Amino acid sequence: MKKLLLAATAALVLNACAYTSAASTDDAKTAISQAVQKTQQSARVDYEWRDTGKIIKKAKAALKKGNIDAAIKLANKAGRQSDNALKQYAEQKNAGPRFN
């Protein structure tokens, strides 16, 4: 019984040690850079969403702390928000009051 428990524990420890993030610091820096570029594009047309800049700051802070996965996740979220802001701009740039 003890050998089985020891083997199971060893397997879990080895599995946990074998799991490393496939993402690197360079991947996180690239994701953040792309999010910043997309945000700048949306800002140029005055359609930057309110929280996108805050999310990018959180991504940079996560990278600084060494949390690469969180940094990438946050940067991708900011990038998606900027993409959606640009889509919203394109759909609504000619919006105005309707006169029937």
pLDDT score of 22: 77
21-64 pLDDT, tens per residue? 577 999 999 999 999 999 999 999 999 999 999 999 999 999 99
The pTM for the full model equals 0.73
Structural tokens at position 40: 């700048």
Cα-Cα end-to-end distance for the chain:
82
